[in-house]
C-alpha cells in the first residue's frame, strides 16, 4: 500500500509539473508586435481609449454624464479587473460591457447597445486602460459558480464540422502554430483588443464568435447565456493574471 501511495504521489507531482505556466497572449506575439502594444503613442487601440475618456464627460440623452455619478476618474481604477460580477437587479452576471450598457440605458436614457457598440466599446477601452497592470480578480461569489461551471463545460465541448473544443487548441496545443500564427492560451487579459485582422477594436464576445466560426460551427445568438457563461469561466481561469489594458493581437 505504501509503495502504491508513493507511486501515486510521484505521478501526481509529475502531472502537476507538466501543467504549463499561464501566459498572456502578448507572450505569443513577435517582439515587434509586443513593442507596438507597449507604446501608447503607436498602439491603435489607444484611439478608443481617448474616445472613451471623452465620452466619460459627455452628456447622455437626458443630460447626465458618467462623471456625474463617478466624479473622480481615479475611483474607476481597477474596476475592469472585477468583472463579470453579479447584478442584484437582474439576478444574473454582468460583464464590464454589460454594466456600461445598463448604466447608459438606466441613468443616461441611451438606447441599448451591445459589447461592440461604439460607446460601450470606447468606455470599455478607457476603463480597461485604467486597470492596466492590475491582477484579474473576479468576485468570489457563489452565485457565479453555476455560470462558471457552464462556461467550463462549453470550453471543453466539441463544436462544428471540425469537431473541436476550445480546450483542444488553447489548453492542449498552446504555443504551437496554426496558419502561421502562434496559438495562445486564451486568457482574457487584454480586452477589448485591437486585432490587426479586424483593423479595429473588438470585445471578447466578438473573438469567441470568431473561434466558433473557425471550427465551422453556428455561433450562439447575440446576447445568449452561453457567451456570458464562457466569459465568467474565462475570468476565473485567468484570475490573478495581470491585465494588459487595451491589447494588440495579430
| Predicted structure pTM score | 0.90
Tell me the three cell numbers of residue 138. Answer: 473576479
Q: For residues 34 and 26, is the Cβ–Cβ distance under 8 A?
A: yes
Q: Domain for residue 87, yes or no? A: yes
Boundaries of domain holding 131:
26-249
Domain count, the chain: 1
Distance CA 244, CA 128 (A): 8
Q: Is 137 helix (H, G, I), strand (E, B) or coil?
A: coil
CATH number of the domain encompassing residue 114: 1.10.760.10
Q: Identify any residues that bridge with 85 across adjacent strands, giving them in sequence order.
A: 94
Label residue 92 exposed, middle or buried (CB < 10 Å: 0-12, 13-18, 19+).
Answer: middle
pLDDT tens over the chain, length 250 residues: 343 333 333 333 433 345 679 999 999 999 999 999 999 999 999 999 999 999 999 999 999 999 999 878 888 999 999 999 999 999 999 999 999 999 999 999 999 999 999 999 999 999 999 999 999 999 999 999 999 999 999 999 999 999 999 999 999 999 999 888 899 999 999 999 999 999 999 999 999 999 999 999 999 998 899 999 999 999 999 999 999 999 999 9
C-alpha cell at 76: 474607476
Task: Decide if 66 is catalytic.
Answer: no
Residue 20 included in any domain? no
Whether 138 maps to a domain, the answer reads: yes
Query: What is the predicted pLDDT for the residue at 18?
Result: 52
66, 166, 169, 211: which one is catalytic?
211
Domain annotation covers residue 140: yes
Q: What is the pLDDT of residue 71?
A: 75
**DSSP string across 178-203:** ETTEE------SS-SEEETTTTEEE-
User: How far apart, in whole angstroms, are the C-alpha atoms of residue 57 and residue 78?
Assistant: 19
Task: Confirm whether 196 is domain-assigned.
Answer: yes
Does 12 map to a domain? Answer: no
Residue 20's alpha-carbon distances to 28, 172, 184, in angstroms, are 14, 10, 12
Q: Is residue 17 part of a domain?
A: no
**For residue 246, what is its C-alpha cell?**
487595451
Amino acid at each position: 500500500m505504501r509503495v502504491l501511495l508513493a507511486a501515486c504521489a510521484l505521478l501526481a507531482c509529475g502531472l502537476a509539473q507538466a501543467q504549463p505556466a499561464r501566459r498572456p497572449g502578448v507572450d505569443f506575439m513577435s517582439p515587434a508586435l509586443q513593442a507596438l502594444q507597449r507604446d501608447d503613442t503607436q498602439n491603435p487601440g489607444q484611439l478608443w481609449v481617448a474616445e472613451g475618456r471623452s465620452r466619460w464627460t459627455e452628456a447622455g440623452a437626458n443630460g447626465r454624464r458618467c462623471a456625474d455619478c463617478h466624479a473622480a476618474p481615479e475611483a474607476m481604477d481597477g474596476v475592469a479587473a472585477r468583472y463579470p460580477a453579479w447584478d442584484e437587479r437582474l439576478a444574473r452576471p454582468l460583464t464590464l460591457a454589460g454594466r456600461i450598457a445598463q448604466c447608459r440605458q438606466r441613468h443616461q436614457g441611451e438606447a441599448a447597445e451591445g459589447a461592440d457598440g461604439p460607446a460601450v466599446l470606447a468606455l470599455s477601452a478607457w476603463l480597461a486602460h485604467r486597470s492596466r497592470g492590475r491582477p484579474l480578480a473576479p468576485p468570489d461569489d457563489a452565485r457565479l459558480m453555476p455560470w462558471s461551471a457552464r462556461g467550463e463545460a462549453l470550453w471543453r465541448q466539441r463544436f462544428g464540422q471540425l469537431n473541436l473544443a476550445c480546450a483542444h487548441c488553447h489548453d492542449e496545443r498552446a504555443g504551437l502554430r496554426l496558419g502561421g500564427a502562434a496559438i495562445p492560451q486564451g486568457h482574457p487579459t487584454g480586452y477589448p483588443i485591437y486585432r490587426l485582422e479586424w483593423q479595429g477594436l473588438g470585445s471578447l464576445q466578438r473573438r469567441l464568435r470568431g473561434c466558433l466560426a473557425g471550427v465551422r460551427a453556428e455561433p450562439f445568438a447575440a446576447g445568449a447565456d452561453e457567451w456570458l457563461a464562457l466569459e465568467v469561466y474565462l475570468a476565473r481561469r485567468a484570475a490573478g493574471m495581470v491585465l494588459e489594458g487595451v491589447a494588440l493581437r495579430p
